[in-house]
Amino acid sequence: MSDSAFHYVDGVLHAEGVSAASLAEQFGTPLYVYSRDALTRAYHAYADACAGRRATVHVAVKANSNLAVLNVFARMGAGFDIVSSGELARVLAGGGKAENTVFSGVGKSAAEMREALEAGVKCFNVESIPELHALNEVAKSLGKKAPVSLRVNPDVDAKTHPYISTGLKSNKFGVAFSDARATYAQAHAMPNLDVVGIDCHIGSQITEISPYLDAVDKLLELVAQIESDGMSIRHVDVGGGLGITYDDETPPDIGVFVKTVLDHIETSGHGQREVYFEPGRSLVGNAGVLLTRVEFLKPGEEKNFAIVDAAMNDLARPAMYEAFHRIVPVVKRDAKAHKYDVVGPVCESGDWLGRDRELAVEPGDLLAICSAGAYGFVMSSNYNTRPRAAEIMVDGERARLVREREEVKQLFAGESILPD
Ligand code: LLP
């Protein structure tokens, strides 16, 4: 396994000092399990590389918004990157501060803008001219000035999956590079906006540094133009996107990545500006696994299926992106392995978690789906009226339930039938 927080002791998978088998026994399956130590180490890799530099880390809440996870980061002084007022509420409930929070997203509503302004977020990453107008209006109605940076689309190829590549001309995100200077001028002219920075986010699961440096070069080229137009750009937000190892990917080390980007900005003559990072996946992805139990083994003519109790509603990434997650036994068996498609009980052929996996398993065995800490629980749904999984945080020898398993009756508690 790529993260030592999850390791085998005498053939039994452990999360830090706790047996995954005992967690499944105590809390049931499917079960998300996070390691506080893995979260802490990933955050430190960013924070230590930023120490002594003008650079700050904003945890992308969308990757994992469990309050306990956010709180682990908040206690270490993290900032946050949000994309909804719901995420803002989670940040505040998890001990984070609005003044350390940036608000991203292509479609903020007026109500969300109002809530964020009242809370006092650090910056709005604005993605279009209509959004600038809307924010200016909301700020005016509150008698405030909204701090803004424009998310500029640098049109660089992040060399990742098309669904999670966001910095190309063809994507819905950001202001086109060729329009950015004029858009900044418009923002500057709006009385209730305060232009403070520039922002980009080129994609996710990026395993090379060069696309970031290309994006930074383009942003800095713009910064020079914008400043010659009379605005001052205090910060450069390079977005998130650094990849992790799911299988055999070799992303750069976090510290090397941060240092390379900061050095590049400094040697380009922009060292006076503050640099923001917005990592999600690289902080939480390998800090979590999803535990599931094998219900049935179903041999087929072409394929063998291991039908497990987790499904695409619990972990959508394989179905959505054909994403690969390593699948390992919780208790190793000394038996011959066979090839299985690991699939869930949902009524869709797309409901698979892993294909063609060599596993020595029997019904009732537990499996761990690895690297599930990012875009796992947060993307889960109640499809097929399946209650969402419980979440556990392990801290050394202790395990704490940080989200209760949903109950079926909760799922339709807000519904009603016609009176006649
Ligand atoms: N900042 C912004 C503005 C973003 O849109 C994102 C992710 C991040 C930061 C964090 O990126 P990260 O460091 O996690 O790559 N559901 C997909 C990933 C979608 C990412 C969307 N934006 C998946 O499961 O692969």
Closest residue by Cα to atom 24, ligand 1, is: 375
418 is a domain residue: no
118 is a domain residue: yes
84 is a domain residue: no
Which residue, of 225, 260, 277, is where some domain finishes? 277
17 vs 7: CA distance, rounded Å: 9
Instruction: Give, for ligand 1, the residue of 278, 324, 379 to mutate: max count of ligand atoms closer than 8 Å to Cβ.
Output: 278
265 is a domain residue: yes
Residues flanking ligand 1, CB < 6 Å: 60, 62-63, 81, 104, 164, 201, 204-205, 239-242, 278-282, 317, 321, 374-375
| Same domain, yes or no: 312 and 392 | yes
| Same domain, yes or no: 246 and 112 | yes
269 torsion bin: left (phi>0), alpha (psi -120 to 50), beta (else): left
| Same domain, yes or no: 22 and 133 | no
| Same domain, yes or no: 132 and 261 | yes
* Distance from the alpha carbon of residue 210 to the mean position of ligand 1, in angstroms: 18
Q: Is 11 annotated for ligand binding?
A: no
The residue ranges of the chain whose pLDDT is under 50 are 1-3
| Same domain, yes or no: 262 and 359 | no
* Distance from the alpha carbon of residue 29 to the mean position of ligand 1, in angstroms: 27
* Distance from the alpha carbon of residue 60 to the mean position of ligand 1, in angstroms: 7
pLDDT at 156: 87
Q: Is 241 annotated for ligand binding?
A: yes
Q: Is 407 annotated for ligand binding?
A: no
Give me the CATH number covering residue 300.
2.40.37.10
| Same domain, yes or no: 147 and 296 | no
| Same domain, yes or no: 214 and 158 | yes
Q: Is 278 annotated for ligand binding?
A: yes
Closest residue by Cα to atom 23, ligand 1, is: 375
pLDDT at 4: 78
279 vs 45: CA distance, rounded Å: 11
> Domain count of the chain?
2
Q: Which atom of ligand 1 is nearest to the CA of 316?
A: 24
* Distance from the alpha carbon of residue 280 to the mean position of ligand 1, in angstroms: 6
Give me the CATH number covering residue 241.
3.20.20.10
62 is a domain residue: no
Instruction: Give, for ligand 1, the residue of 43, 204, 379 to mutate: max count of ligand atoms closer than 8 Å to Cβ.
Output: 204
pLDDT at 157: 78
| Same domain, yes or no: 264 and 397 | no
The catalytic residue among 50, 123, 200, 347 is 347
78 is a domain residue: no
| Same domain, yes or no: 264 and 289 | no
* Distance from the alpha carbon of residue 15 to the mean position of ligand 1, in angstroms: 25
100 vs 95: CA distance, rounded Å: 11
- Diameter over CA atoms, the chain: 73
| Same domain, yes or no: 265 and 200 | yes
Which residue, of 240, 255, 277, is where some domain finishes? 277
Q: Is 280 annotated for ligand binding?
A: yes
Q: Which atom of ligand 1 is nearest to the CA of 241?
A: 15
Q: Distance from first CA to last CA of the chain, Å, rounded?
A: 57
pLDDT at 7: 98
37 vs 35: CA distance, rounded Å: 5
| Same domain, yes or no: 115 and 202 | yes
Active site residue 347: yes
Closest residue by Cα to atom 16, ligand 1, is: 375
Which residue, of 215, 249, 277, is where some domain finishes? 277
Q: Which atom of ligand 1 is nearest to the CA of 206?
A: 15
42 is a domain residue: no
User: 201 phi and psi, to 5 degrees?
Assistant: -150, 115
Report the C-alpha dihedral over residues 24, 28, 32, 33, rounded to 10 degrees: -30
Strands in 20-136 per DSSP E? 31-35, 55-60, 79-82, 101-103, 123-126
332 touches 11 (CB < 8 A): yes
44 is a domain residue: no
* Distance from the alpha carbon of residue 97 to the mean position of ligand 1, in angstroms: 21
pLDDT at 1: 42
| Same domain, yes or no: 197 and 304 | no
pTM strictly above 0.75: yes
What is the gyration radius of the CA atoms in the chain, in angstroms?
A: 23
Q: Which atom of ligand 1 is nearest to the CA of 278?
A: 9
Question: What is the domain range of residue 384?
Answer: 6-35+285-411
